[in-house]
A and B are shown apart, each in its own frame.
Chain A
Amino acid sequence: MIIEQSHFLFVSLYIFAISIGGLLLNRRNIIILLISIELMLLAINLQFVIFSVFLDDIIGQINALLILTVAAAESAIGLALLVVYYRIKGTISINKINLLHG
């Protein structure tokens, strides 16, 4: 069985869709939100790698490495914000983050 590009692409697309689902359907926990964002970035990374391989081009992999660092930095900042937020509110439920409404 020859593994085509589309299979890989579909995998990454599913991961991306799952992560969007995680963002949308999650109503409790901010950590899950962060995890979903990480998952999204991973899906994109995977995409980059797949294209890099199939197009025989190194830029995709460089991009993937770049995104890895960005994702790490981002999750670090996100967790820091989460900790600060938890210290103030005493909860990490998303439902409670609705002070800024129209």
Chain B
Amino acid sequence: MYLTLVFLPLISALVAFFVRFIGNKYAAYICTSLLGFTFILSIKSFYYIALLQNSCYIQTLPWLFGENLIVFWGFLFDSVTCTMLIVVTSISFLVHFYSIEYMGSDPHLGRFMSYLSFFTFFMLILVTADNMVQMFVGWEGVGLCSYLLINFFFNRIQANKAALKAMVMNRIGDFGLSLGIMALFYVCKSLDYHVIFSSILLFVDNSFYFFNIKINLITCICLLLFIGAVGKSAQIGLHTWLPDAMEGPTPVSALIHAATMVTAGVFLIIRCSFLFEFSETALDILTILGALTAFFAATTGLLQNDAKRVIAYSTCSQLGYMVFVCGISGYSTSLFHLANHAFFKALLFLTAGSLIHAVHDEQDFRKMGGLAYILPFSYSMLLVGSLSLTGFPFLTGFYSKDMILELTFSTYLIKGTFAYILGVLSAFCTAFYSFRLIFWAFLAKPNGYKHTYSHASESNFFITFPLGVLALASIFVGYLFRDMFIGVGTSFWNNSIFILPENNFVLESEFIPVYNKLTPVVFSFGGLIIAFCFYNFLIKKIFIVKIFYIKFYTFLNKRWYFDKIYNEFIALPIISFGYKITFKFIDRGILEIFGPTGLITNFTYLSKNISSIQSGLMYHYLFIILLGITITLFTVIVIIQKMLYVSTNLVLIFILAVIGSSLKN
């Protein structure tokens, strides 16, 4: 069952890839039904493994056999894996289902389905791997599939650029991750999770010197792994690919940027909780970077005008939440938020897709407006998703997000307070931009063309069904699974997550003051109400405000100038370095001169010079002959003199004697 679960998406991908024999629609149906079957299997595995607390470990074919390096194709199913399985397969199934209609008119539907299934397959490989190398296979595989999916419309230059950017930014992180894996192998002499995690305690105090700086080994490994997570999970620094990846079709955004790919980084951190727990420094950095990401993305999302971009920044922000709660050892909370976030973020993305589909692929929500009466279903879905995202009480988002903030508040550490403040501010911003989007798209006065409105309508069953399911999940999942996932003293995780006792603040978080428990909710409500008032009553003033704070507006709208800085101070110098220095100066310069070109020209020149000695004039030849004889004689004399350790005169006498005796005979 477990291996079927992993390999069904692969079969589905292969079937869909050879689609031209069976037709696009059929391929889509086959893919979707296979994914549905995968989903059923993952529910079953969730029951057996997570609920009955019965981890499963399958070791199949051998893969790498070195001296110490032994890697099998192994599959590890524990509570963390099964939670991820449920998230990935359910979202993937719904996205497949959704794409049947959403991408129905696309001539490459089969290819699209194939890529989606491939993506799911690699994600399953990632979450079910029992060793670092196989996890890396999945890690690179989802990167590859994200590349293929983002530039699915490969004839669009923007899509290609976005896909390249996603690939390259991810590769920066992957480099860190592969270094981390190598370091792990260096330390533990194994890459299997169970060996690494059980032996890491032995290496806690080990350190090494790098440029005379003493670095703790575990800290170094954790930071390298975290660099990988930064790339994949779009933390601040390597986040710029995520909003650009919105160039792909919307179901892709829902799958990649809500449920699967970006969660891989957080999954890695949660999986490696056994390592991160032993490195205080790494946890601090996790917290700070996560909190900064949450805050940065939330503020940036405030003033974006593209429906999908707003949601992308909210993804980035929520990933920040997940990471900083990992930083204060709330791994289970992080995973809970990850699961909940997958549901409501997929809902938001798919609803945005339905919205965009209805208004003829217009993504700028300032050109929509007043769609609440035409698209009431989408409106209610987006409302549910947004309320869940903002942590409206008793919806899914509330249970995980407030738990995160409570946990951060209840730590006795300065980093916890830092993350708490930024998290609460981000909650405020989240509410604000969610309702800004809803207001502009649905409640404002119509701003689009009349043509758009006369043709706008709700989509059919294939699009609405996933939305309905996800909306139900966004409402109920948090409440239903709260006690199981993050309840006090839950045994659900069953040793798949490790928290040092001194890092565990779950109990404290239950007993923090009431007003601190209320603060995030109050801030969210504040954002919601302010957004509502701002865009409902002060709509005329918006322009004046914008002009008055134009620098501030541009700063947020241009995403804190991150792209500008990266392009001008990193990308451009690197490119010009690559062209001017490495290409023109070294490759075509130094190496050419000492290499082929220089040799050819110099030798031609030299040989011309030498052959010009041969002037044709007889007395030149004579001179050279005499010179040659003299030099030869002199050399012979010197050599003989050196060999026999005698003086020049003796040598001359010797030569004359030789000549004389030869004459005599």
- Listed in ascending order, the chain A residues whose CB lies under 8 Å from chain B are 20, 23-27, 33, 51, 55, 57, 59-60, 94-95, 97-102
Contact = CB atoms under 8 A, between A and B. Distances in A.
A94 B612 contact: no
B617 A102 contact: no
B202 interface: no
Given A51-B663, A55-B664, A102-B611, A97 B616 contact: yes
10 smallest CB-CB distances across A and B, nearest first, come from: A98-B616, A101-B616, A102-B614, A102-B611, A98-B617, A23-B622, A101-B615, A100-B616, A94-B618, A24-B619
Interface in B612-665: 612-619, 622-623, 626, 660, 663-664
Contact of A24 (B612, B626, B660, B664): B626
A53 B612 CA distance: 47
Interface residues of B, number: 16
Contacts of A59: 663-664
17 contacts: A23-B622, A25-B619, A55-B660, A57-B664, A94-B617, A94-B618, A94-B619, A97-B618, A98-B615, A98-B616, A99-B616, A101-B615, A101-B616, A102-B610, A102-B613, A102-B615, A102-B616
A59 B626 CA distance: 28
**For the complex, would chain B's binding face be called helix, strand, loop or mixed by DSSP majority?**
helix
Contact of A23 (B613, B619, B663): B619
A101 B614 contact: yes
Interface string B384-402: 0000000000000000000
Nearest to B614: A102
Nearest to A23: B622
Nearest to B611: A102
Contacts of B613: 102
A24 B623 contact: yes
B663 A60 contact: yes
A22 to B, nearest CB: 10
Interface string B413-433: 000000000000000000000
Nearest to B615: A101
Contacts of B660: 51, 55
Interface string B588-616: 00000000000000000000001111111
Contacts of B664: 55, 57, 59
Interface string B517-551: 00000000000000000000000000000000000
A101 to B, nearest CB: 3
Contacts of B615: 98, 101-102
Nearest to A30: B618
